Structure 1
Amino acid sequence: MRRVLPFLLLLTACGGPSVGPKISGAPQPGNPVVVTTAPSAGAKPALGSAPDDLLDVDWQQATLTARFCGVEQPVTMRNGEATATSTTWGEVEVVVNPRRPAWFGDLDGDGRDEAAVNLYCENGGHTASSQLAFGLVVVRTVSGTMELIGEISTTTMRDDAPHVPSLTEPRFEYGAITVQELWYRPGDANCCPTGVSQTRWSVRDGTLKAGSAIQVS
Protein backbone atom coordinates (compact mmCIF):
# COMPACT_ATOMS: atom_id res chain seq x y z
CA MET A 1 0.00 0.00 0.00
CA ARG A 2 1.35 3.39 -0.96
CA ARG A 3 2.00 5.41 2.13
CA VAL A 4 0.56 8.86 2.57
CA LEU A 5 3.68 10.89 3.21
CA PRO A 6 3.97 14.33 4.77
CA PHE A 7 4.97 17.46 2.92
CA LEU A 8 8.64 16.68 3.34
CA LEU A 9 8.52 14.29 0.41
CA LEU A 10 8.39 17.41 -1.73
CA LEU A 11 11.85 18.17 -0.50
CA THR A 12 14.95 16.14 -0.96
CA ALA A 13 16.73 14.92 1.72
CA CYS A 14 19.25 13.82 3.84
CA GLY A 15 21.00 13.53 7.15
CA GLY A 16 24.03 11.69 8.38
CA PRO A 17 24.34 8.83 10.83
CA SER A 18 24.56 11.55 13.48
CA VAL A 19 22.23 13.89 11.54
CA GLY A 20 25.11 16.20 10.81
CA PRO A 21 27.13 18.27 13.25
CA LYS A 22 24.81 20.20 15.56
CA ILE A 23 25.35 23.86 16.31
CA SER A 24 23.71 26.43 18.58
CA GLY A 25 22.04 29.21 16.63
CA ALA A 26 22.18 29.63 12.87
CA PRO A 27 24.74 27.84 10.67
CA GLN A 28 28.01 29.71 10.61
CA PRO A 29 29.31 30.64 7.13
CA GLY A 30 32.94 29.80 6.55
CA ASN A 31 33.01 26.96 9.05
CA PRO A 32 34.09 24.00 6.88
CA VAL A 33 32.56 20.58 7.26
CA VAL A 34 34.29 17.69 5.54
CA VAL A 35 32.19 14.53 5.46
CA THR A 36 33.05 11.37 3.61
CA THR A 37 29.93 9.26 3.14
CA ALA A 38 31.11 6.83 0.49
CA PRO A 39 33.81 4.17 0.51
CA SER A 40 37.18 5.04 -0.91
CA ALA A 41 37.99 4.48 -4.57
CA GLY A 42 38.43 0.79 -5.32
CA ALA A 43 36.02 -0.28 -2.56
CA LYS A 44 32.69 0.68 -4.12
CA PRO A 45 29.72 -1.51 -3.15
CA ALA A 46 28.04 -3.57 -5.86
CA LEU A 47 24.75 -2.00 -6.94
CA GLY A 48 23.95 -4.32 -9.85
CA SER A 49 23.32 -3.78 -13.55
CA ALA A 50 21.82 -0.61 -14.99
CA PRO A 51 21.08 0.86 -18.42
CA ASP A 52 23.49 3.42 -19.85
CA ASP A 53 20.78 6.07 -19.50
CA LEU A 54 19.92 6.42 -15.81
CA LEU A 55 16.63 8.07 -16.77
CA ASP A 56 15.46 4.53 -17.59
CA VAL A 57 16.10 3.14 -14.07
CA ASP A 58 13.12 2.21 -11.89
CA TRP A 59 14.40 3.64 -8.62
CA GLN A 60 11.51 2.06 -6.72
CA GLN A 61 13.17 -1.34 -7.34
CA ALA A 62 16.87 -0.34 -7.38
CA THR A 63 19.72 -1.42 -5.11
CA LEU A 64 21.16 1.63 -3.35
CA THR A 65 23.25 2.65 -0.37
CA ALA A 66 21.94 4.48 2.71
CA ARG A 67 25.02 5.34 4.76
CA PHE A 68 23.50 8.73 5.53
CA CYS A 69 21.18 6.72 7.79
CA GLY A 70 23.88 4.53 9.32
CA VAL A 71 23.04 1.56 7.07
CA GLU A 72 26.35 -0.06 6.19
CA GLN A 73 25.31 -2.40 3.36
CA PRO A 74 23.37 -1.65 0.15
CA VAL A 75 19.62 -2.24 0.31
CA THR A 76 17.32 -3.42 -2.48
CA MET A 77 14.08 -1.51 -2.77
CA ARG A 78 10.74 -3.21 -3.18
CA ASN A 79 8.11 -0.73 -4.36
CA GLY A 80 10.31 2.06 -3.10
CA GLU A 81 10.94 0.76 0.41
CA ALA A 82 13.37 -1.47 2.28
CA THR A 83 13.83 -2.50 5.90
CA ALA A 84 17.42 -2.21 7.11
CA THR A 85 19.53 -2.05 10.26
CA SER A 86 21.07 1.29 11.18
CA THR A 87 24.10 1.46 13.44
CA THR A 88 22.51 4.57 14.97
CA TRP A 89 18.77 3.82 15.21
CA GLY A 90 18.40 0.04 14.89
CA GLU A 91 15.68 -1.14 12.50
CA VAL A 92 14.68 1.57 10.02
CA GLU A 93 12.70 1.93 6.82
CA VAL A 94 14.63 3.34 3.85
CA VAL A 95 12.30 5.01 1.36
CA VAL A 96 12.67 6.42 -2.16
CA ASN A 97 10.78 9.68 -2.52
CA PRO A 98 7.93 8.74 -4.88
CA ARG A 99 7.19 12.37 -5.82
CA ARG A 100 10.76 13.11 -6.94
CA PRO A 101 12.88 9.94 -6.98
CA ALA A 102 15.98 11.53 -8.56
CA TRP A 103 17.67 14.53 -10.14
CA PHE A 104 20.05 14.23 -13.10
CA GLY A 105 23.10 16.07 -14.40
CA ASP A 106 26.53 15.47 -15.94
CA LEU A 107 29.03 15.37 -13.06
CA ASP A 108 32.05 13.85 -14.80
CA GLY A 109 31.88 15.57 -18.19
CA ASP A 110 31.37 12.43 -20.26
CA GLY A 111 28.15 13.66 -21.86
CA ARG A 112 25.94 11.25 -19.88
CA ASP A 113 23.91 12.19 -16.85
CA GLU A 114 24.62 10.94 -13.36
CA ALA A 115 21.74 10.62 -10.87
CA ALA A 116 21.20 11.98 -7.36
CA VAL A 117 18.62 9.59 -5.92
CA ASN A 118 16.34 11.05 -3.26
CA LEU A 119 16.06 8.86 -0.13
CA TYR A 120 15.09 9.22 3.49
CA CYS A 121 14.88 6.86 6.45
CA GLU A 122 12.33 6.71 9.23
CA ASN A 123 11.52 4.67 12.31
CA GLY A 124 8.31 3.17 10.91
CA GLY A 125 5.89 5.70 12.34
CA HIS A 126 5.01 7.05 8.87
CA THR A 127 4.73 10.63 10.12
CA ALA A 128 6.93 13.71 9.81
CA SER A 129 8.19 13.21 13.38
CA SER A 130 9.29 9.65 12.54
CA GLN A 131 11.71 10.82 9.85
CA LEU A 132 15.31 10.34 10.93
CA ALA A 133 17.58 11.45 8.09
CA PHE A 134 17.53 12.52 4.45
CA GLY A 135 20.14 11.88 1.76
CA LEU A 136 21.02 12.00 -1.92
CA VAL A 137 22.78 8.92 -3.29
CA VAL A 138 24.83 9.91 -6.35
CA VAL A 139 25.43 7.15 -8.91
CA ARG A 140 26.64 6.62 -12.47
CA THR A 141 26.82 3.72 -14.92
CA VAL A 142 30.09 2.07 -15.89
CA SER A 143 30.00 -0.73 -18.51
CA GLY A 144 26.38 -1.56 -17.73
CA THR A 145 26.86 -1.52 -13.95
CA MET A 146 25.56 1.12 -11.55
CA GLU A 147 28.38 2.55 -9.46
CA LEU A 148 28.24 4.71 -6.34
CA ILE A 149 30.01 8.06 -6.57
CA GLY A 150 29.08 9.18 -3.07
CA GLU A 151 26.31 10.32 -0.75
CA ILE A 152 25.22 13.85 0.08
CA SER A 153 23.96 14.40 3.62
CA THR A 154 22.93 17.40 5.69
CA THR A 155 25.79 19.21 7.43
CA THR A 156 24.09 21.61 9.85
CA MET A 157 21.37 21.33 12.49
CA ARG A 158 20.42 23.54 15.40
CA ASP A 159 20.41 21.97 18.86
CA ASP A 160 16.85 23.22 19.34
CA ALA A 161 15.53 22.28 15.88
CA PRO A 162 12.08 20.63 15.91
CA HIS A 163 12.87 18.44 12.88
CA VAL A 164 15.86 17.08 10.95
CA PRO A 165 16.95 19.19 7.94
CA SER A 166 16.52 18.15 4.32
CA LEU A 167 18.10 18.87 0.93
CA THR A 168 16.68 20.17 -2.32
CA GLU A 169 17.60 21.46 -5.78
CA PRO A 170 20.95 19.77 -6.44
CA ARG A 171 22.83 21.68 -9.14
CA PHE A 172 25.33 19.62 -11.15
CA GLU A 173 28.56 20.95 -12.62
CA TYR A 174 31.82 19.34 -13.63
CA GLY A 175 33.27 17.73 -10.51
CA ALA A 176 30.74 19.10 -8.01
CA ILE A 177 27.11 19.27 -6.90
CA THR A 178 25.70 22.25 -4.99
CA VAL A 179 22.62 21.61 -2.87
CA GLN A 180 20.30 23.73 -0.77
CA GLU A 181 19.85 22.59 2.81
CA LEU A 182 16.55 23.42 4.49
CA TRP A 183 16.89 23.63 8.28
CA TYR A 184 14.54 24.44 11.13
CA ARG A 185 14.45 27.27 13.62
CA PRO A 186 12.79 26.60 17.02
CA GLY A 187 9.39 28.03 16.07
CA ASP A 188 9.14 26.33 12.67
CA ALA A 189 6.36 23.83 12.02
CA ASN A 190 7.22 20.49 10.38
CA CYS A 191 5.81 21.82 7.12
CA CYS A 192 7.83 24.96 6.86
CA PRO A 193 11.57 25.24 7.58
CA THR A 194 12.71 28.86 7.39
CA GLY A 195 16.48 28.33 7.33
CA VAL A 196 18.31 27.84 4.03
CA SER A 197 22.00 27.19 3.41
CA GLN A 198 24.02 25.98 0.44
CA THR A 199 26.79 23.41 0.41
CA ARG A 200 29.03 22.50 -2.51
CA TRP A 201 30.02 18.82 -2.62
CA SER A 202 33.12 18.09 -4.71
CA VAL A 203 34.45 14.82 -6.07
CA ARG A 204 37.76 14.27 -4.28
CA ASP A 205 39.72 11.12 -3.49
CA GLY A 206 37.13 8.99 -5.25
CA THR A 207 34.08 10.21 -3.30
CA LEU A 208 32.02 13.31 -2.54
CA LYS A 209 33.17 15.71 0.17
CA ALA A 210 31.40 18.77 1.54
CA GLY A 211 32.78 22.29 1.51
CA SER A 212 31.67 25.15 3.72
CA ALA A 213 27.96 25.66 4.35
CA ILE A 214 26.93 29.18 3.29
CA GLN A 215 23.83 30.57 4.96
CA VAL A 216 21.26 31.97 2.51
CA SER A 217 18.47 32.85 4.93
Structure 2
Amino acid sequence: MLTCATALVVALAAGCSSPTPDPKVPRASPSSHDGTSETPEPSPSASDTGSLGAATADLRDMDWARTAVPGDFCDVPGLISFTSGEATVRSDTHGSVHAEQYPDSVVYGDVLGDERVEAAMLVGCDTGGQTGSGRLAWAYVVFAGEQGRLRLVGTVSPRKYEGGHASGFDDIVLASGRVTVEETWHRGMDPSCCPSGKAVTVWRVGADGLLTAGEPRVTG
Protein backbone atom coordinates (compact mmCIF):
# COMPACT_ATOMS: atom_id res chain seq x y z
CA MET A 1 0.00 0.00 0.00
CA LEU A 2 2.79 2.44 0.85
CA THR A 3 4.43 1.79 -2.48
CA CYS A 4 1.21 2.47 -4.38
CA ALA A 5 0.52 5.64 -2.41
CA THR A 6 4.02 6.89 -3.06
CA ALA A 7 3.63 6.24 -6.77
CA LEU A 8 0.34 8.14 -6.80
CA VAL A 9 1.90 11.17 -5.11
CA VAL A 10 4.75 11.20 -7.63
CA ALA A 11 2.33 11.00 -10.55
CA LEU A 12 0.20 13.86 -9.23
CA ALA A 13 3.25 16.02 -8.63
CA ALA A 14 4.44 15.45 -12.18
CA GLY A 15 1.03 16.37 -13.53
CA CYS A 16 1.00 19.68 -11.62
CA SER A 17 4.53 20.77 -12.44
CA SER A 18 5.12 23.72 -14.80
CA PRO A 19 5.24 22.70 -18.45
CA THR A 20 8.39 23.26 -20.45
CA PRO A 21 8.11 26.73 -22.04
CA ASP A 22 7.48 26.75 -25.77
CA PRO A 23 10.37 28.06 -27.85
CA LYS A 24 10.05 31.67 -28.97
CA VAL A 25 8.10 31.89 -32.22
CA PRO A 26 10.31 33.19 -35.06
CA ARG A 27 9.33 36.14 -37.21
CA ALA A 28 6.71 35.39 -39.87
CA SER A 29 5.91 32.10 -38.13
CA PRO A 30 2.67 30.31 -39.00
CA SER A 31 0.69 31.10 -35.85
CA SER A 32 -2.25 33.50 -36.14
CA HIS A 33 -2.44 36.64 -34.02
CA ASP A 34 -5.56 38.17 -35.46
CA GLY A 35 -7.31 37.87 -32.10
CA THR A 36 -9.89 35.35 -33.32
CA SER A 37 -8.10 32.03 -33.71
CA GLU A 38 -5.27 30.04 -32.18
CA THR A 39 -5.12 27.62 -35.11
CA PRO A 40 -1.72 27.82 -36.85
CA GLU A 41 -1.78 29.08 -40.43
CA PRO A 42 0.90 28.59 -43.08
CA SER A 43 3.46 31.37 -43.34
CA PRO A 44 3.15 33.25 -46.66
CA SER A 45 5.87 32.53 -49.21
CA ALA A 46 6.52 32.77 -52.92
CA SER A 47 5.28 29.24 -53.48
CA ASP A 48 2.35 29.32 -51.02
CA THR A 49 -0.29 31.40 -52.77
CA GLY A 50 -3.21 30.28 -50.61
CA SER A 51 -2.22 31.88 -47.30
CA LEU A 52 -3.39 35.39 -48.07
CA GLY A 53 -6.79 34.63 -49.57
CA ALA A 54 -8.50 35.09 -52.91
CA ALA A 55 -7.43 37.65 -55.49
CA THR A 56 -9.50 39.38 -58.12
CA ALA A 57 -8.37 39.13 -61.75
CA ASP A 58 -7.30 42.79 -61.53
CA LEU A 59 -5.94 43.74 -58.10
CA ARG A 60 -7.36 47.23 -58.53
CA ASP A 61 -10.75 45.61 -57.86
CA MET A 62 -9.70 44.12 -54.50
CA ASP A 63 -11.42 44.98 -51.23
CA TRP A 64 -8.16 45.64 -49.37
CA ALA A 65 -9.92 46.37 -46.09
CA ARG A 66 -10.61 42.63 -45.83
CA THR A 67 -7.03 41.56 -46.56
CA ALA A 68 -4.84 40.11 -43.80
CA VAL A 69 -1.15 41.00 -43.92
CA PRO A 70 2.00 39.30 -42.60
CA GLY A 71 2.92 40.86 -39.27
CA ASP A 72 6.70 40.60 -39.60
CA PHE A 73 7.02 44.38 -40.12
CA CYS A 74 6.22 44.76 -36.38
CA ASP A 75 7.64 41.39 -35.27
CA VAL A 76 4.13 39.94 -34.98
CA PRO A 77 4.05 36.22 -35.87
CA GLY A 78 1.62 35.10 -38.57
CA LEU A 79 -1.07 37.24 -40.17
CA ILE A 80 -2.81 40.37 -38.90
CA SER A 81 -6.51 40.82 -39.70
CA PHE A 82 -8.04 44.27 -39.32
CA THR A 83 -11.41 45.63 -38.25
CA SER A 84 -12.13 49.13 -39.59
CA GLY A 85 -8.44 49.43 -40.42
CA GLU A 86 -7.16 48.62 -36.93
CA ALA A 87 -6.08 45.66 -34.80
CA THR A 88 -4.54 44.96 -31.41
CA VAL A 89 -1.92 42.22 -31.66
CA ARG A 90 1.10 40.94 -29.77
CA SER A 91 4.63 41.57 -31.01
CA ASP A 92 7.51 39.33 -29.99
CA THR A 93 9.61 42.47 -29.49
CA HIS A 94 7.18 45.17 -28.32
CA GLY A 95 4.41 43.27 -26.50
CA SER A 96 0.85 44.43 -27.13
CA VAL A 97 0.73 46.87 -30.06
CA HIS A 98 -1.81 48.76 -32.14
CA ALA A 99 -1.61 47.94 -35.87
CA GLU A 100 -3.24 49.77 -38.74
CA GLN A 101 -3.72 49.50 -42.50
CA TYR A 102 -4.50 52.08 -45.20
CA PRO A 103 -6.61 50.33 -47.86
CA ASP A 104 -7.63 53.62 -49.49
CA SER A 105 -4.01 54.47 -50.32
CA VAL A 106 -2.91 51.32 -52.14
CA VAL A 107 -0.30 51.90 -54.87
CA TYR A 108 -0.24 49.82 -58.09
CA GLY A 109 2.36 48.92 -60.71
CA ASP A 110 3.72 46.03 -62.77
CA VAL A 111 6.58 44.89 -60.52
CA LEU A 112 6.86 41.34 -61.90
CA GLY A 113 6.90 42.43 -65.54
CA ASP A 114 4.00 40.15 -66.46
CA GLU A 115 1.66 42.91 -67.73
CA ARG A 116 -0.48 42.58 -64.59
CA VAL A 117 -0.58 45.05 -61.72
CA GLU A 118 0.86 44.31 -58.32
CA ALA A 119 -0.28 46.25 -55.25
CA ALA A 120 1.45 47.83 -52.25
CA MET A 121 -0.57 48.63 -49.11
CA LEU A 122 0.76 50.82 -46.31
CA VAL A 123 0.63 49.33 -42.79
CA GLY A 124 2.04 50.44 -39.47
CA CYS A 125 2.19 49.74 -35.76
CA ASP A 126 2.59 51.82 -32.62
CA THR A 127 2.34 51.64 -28.85
CA GLY A 128 -1.23 52.90 -28.91
CA GLY A 129 -0.35 56.52 -28.22
CA GLN A 130 -1.08 59.48 -30.44
CA THR A 131 2.45 60.90 -30.61
CA GLY A 132 5.30 60.31 -33.03
CA SER A 133 7.44 58.83 -30.26
CA GLY A 134 5.01 55.92 -29.97
CA ARG A 135 5.50 54.92 -33.61
CA LEU A 136 7.21 51.53 -33.91
CA ALA A 137 7.22 50.72 -37.62
CA TRP A 138 5.90 51.53 -41.09
CA ALA A 139 5.92 49.19 -44.08
CA TYR A 140 4.40 48.59 -47.49
CA VAL A 141 3.19 45.03 -48.10
CA VAL A 142 3.48 44.15 -51.80
CA PHE A 143 1.03 41.61 -53.25
CA ALA A 144 0.67 39.78 -56.56
CA GLY A 145 -2.36 37.91 -57.85
CA GLU A 146 -1.62 34.43 -59.22
CA GLN A 147 -4.16 31.77 -60.18
CA GLY A 148 -6.89 33.57 -58.30
CA ARG A 149 -4.92 33.81 -55.04
CA LEU A 150 -2.89 36.55 -53.39
CA ARG A 151 0.85 36.02 -53.11
CA LEU A 152 3.29 37.96 -50.96
CA VAL A 153 6.00 39.61 -53.08
CA GLY A 154 7.65 41.30 -50.12
CA THR A 155 7.34 43.57 -47.11
CA VAL A 156 9.10 46.84 -47.86
CA SER A 157 10.34 48.46 -44.64
CA PRO A 158 12.33 51.69 -44.41
CA ARG A 159 15.93 51.37 -43.26
CA LYS A 160 16.96 52.26 -39.70
CA TYR A 161 19.10 55.34 -39.28
CA GLU A 162 20.82 57.25 -36.49
CA GLY A 163 17.95 59.04 -34.78
CA GLY A 164 16.33 56.11 -33.00
CA HIS A 165 12.77 56.88 -34.14
CA ALA A 166 10.88 54.73 -36.63
CA SER A 167 11.63 55.72 -40.22
CA GLY A 168 8.76 56.44 -42.61
CA PHE A 169 7.96 57.02 -46.27
CA ASP A 170 7.55 60.02 -48.54
CA ASP A 171 6.76 58.02 -51.69
CA ILE A 172 6.74 54.57 -53.28
CA VAL A 173 6.91 53.66 -56.98
CA LEU A 174 6.23 50.18 -58.39
CA ALA A 175 8.03 49.52 -61.69
CA SER A 176 9.15 46.47 -63.65
CA GLY A 177 11.53 44.42 -61.52
CA ARG A 178 11.79 46.88 -58.64
CA VAL A 179 10.09 48.96 -55.98
CA THR A 180 11.64 52.36 -55.20
CA VAL A 181 10.87 54.05 -51.89
CA GLU A 182 11.69 57.53 -50.65
CA GLU A 183 12.28 57.30 -46.91
CA THR A 184 12.23 59.83 -44.07
CA TRP A 185 14.36 59.41 -40.94
CA HIS A 186 15.26 61.29 -37.80
CA ARG A 187 18.62 62.88 -37.20
CA GLY A 188 19.80 62.95 -33.61
CA MET A 189 18.39 66.40 -32.81
CA ASP A 190 15.11 66.08 -34.74
CA PRO A 191 11.86 66.21 -32.74
CA SER A 192 9.71 63.07 -33.00
CA CYS A 193 7.19 64.90 -35.20
CA CYS A 194 9.59 66.12 -37.82
CA PRO A 195 12.30 63.96 -39.40
CA SER A 196 14.77 65.89 -41.55
CA GLY A 197 16.69 62.97 -43.08
CA LYS A 198 15.87 61.71 -46.58
CA ALA A 199 16.97 58.53 -48.35
CA VAL A 200 16.09 56.32 -51.32
CA THR A 201 16.14 52.51 -51.30
CA VAL A 202 15.52 50.30 -54.34
CA TRP A 203 14.07 46.83 -53.73
CA ARG A 204 14.56 44.40 -56.63
CA VAL A 205 12.70 41.21 -57.57
CA GLY A 206 14.94 38.13 -57.34
CA ALA A 207 14.75 34.80 -59.12
CA ASP A 208 12.46 33.53 -56.36
CA GLY A 209 9.89 36.23 -57.12
CA LEU A 210 10.53 38.08 -53.85
CA LEU A 211 11.83 41.57 -53.17
CA THR A 212 15.31 42.20 -51.73
CA ALA A 213 16.47 45.60 -50.50
CA GLY A 214 19.47 47.35 -51.97
CA GLU A 215 21.66 49.76 -50.02
CA PRO A 216 19.91 52.99 -49.06
CA ARG A 217 21.18 56.21 -50.61
CA VAL A 218 20.97 59.22 -48.32
CA THR A 219 19.68 62.20 -50.27
CA GLY A 220 19.10 64.81 -47.59
Q: TM-score, normalised by structure 1?
A: 0.74
**Judging changes above 3 Å, is the alpha-carbon distance between structure 1 residues 44 and 67 closer, same or farther for their aligned structure 2 residues?**
farther
> Displacement of 1:128 after TM fit?
2.1
**Could you tell me which of 127, 130, 134 is aligned with 2:131?**
127
Between Structure 1 and Structure 2, how many residues are aligned?
A: 178
Q: 1: CA distance between counterparts of 2:102 and 2:198?
A: 21
Structure in which a larger fraction of residues adopt strand: 1
Q: 1: CA distance between counterparts of 2:145 and 2:199?
A: 30
8 Å contact from structure 1 (residues 162, 190) kept in 2: no
Aligned residue number for residue 207 of structure 1: 210
Aligned residue number for residue 63 of structure 1: 68
SS in 2 for 1:212: coil
Aligned residue number for residue 188 of structure 1: 190
Aligned residue number for residue 72 of structure 1: 77
Aligned residue number for residue 87 of structure 1: 92
Aligned residue number for residue 179 of structure 1: 181
8 Å contact from structure 1 (residues 178, 200) kept in 2: yes
Q: 1: CA distance between counterparts of 2:108 and 2:187?
A: 30
SS in 1 for 2:97: strand
8 Å contact from structure 1 (residues 40, 206) kept in 2: no
8 Å contact from structure 1 (residues 59, 96) kept in 2: no
The letter for the 2-side match of 1:133 is A
> Displacement of 1:106 after TM fit?
0.7
**Could you tell me which of 101, 109, 122 is aligned with 1:118?**
122
> Displacement of 1:58 after TM fit?
2.6
8 Å contact from structure 1 (residues 162, 188) kept in 2: no
Q: How does 1:122-161 map to 2 (within 5 A)?
A: 122-158=126-162, 161=163
The letter for the 2-side match of 1:178 is T
Q: 1: CA distance between counterparts of 2:89 and 2:60?
A: 26
Aligned residue number for residue 50 of structure 1: 55
Q: 2: CA distance between counterparts of 1:199 and 1:178?
A: 6
Q: 1: CA distance between counterparts of 2:110 and 2:201?
A: 18
Structure in which a larger fraction of residues adopt helix: 2
- 1:33-64 CA distance string (max 9 Å, x none): xxxxx965335670111212222223222111
SS in 2 for 1:146: strand
Aligned residue number for residue 200 of structure 2: 198
Which runs of 4 or more aligned residues in structure 1 lie more than 4 Å from their structure 2 counterparts after TM superposition?
A: none
The letter for the 2-side match of 1:90 is G
The letter for the 1-side match of 2:213 is A
Q: Which runs of 5+ in 1 are unaligned?
A: 1-16, 18-37
Q: TM-score, normalised by structure 2?
A: 0.73
8 Å contact from structure 1 (residues 196, 215) kept in 2: yes
Q: 1: CA distance between counterparts of 2:76 and 2:167?
A: 19
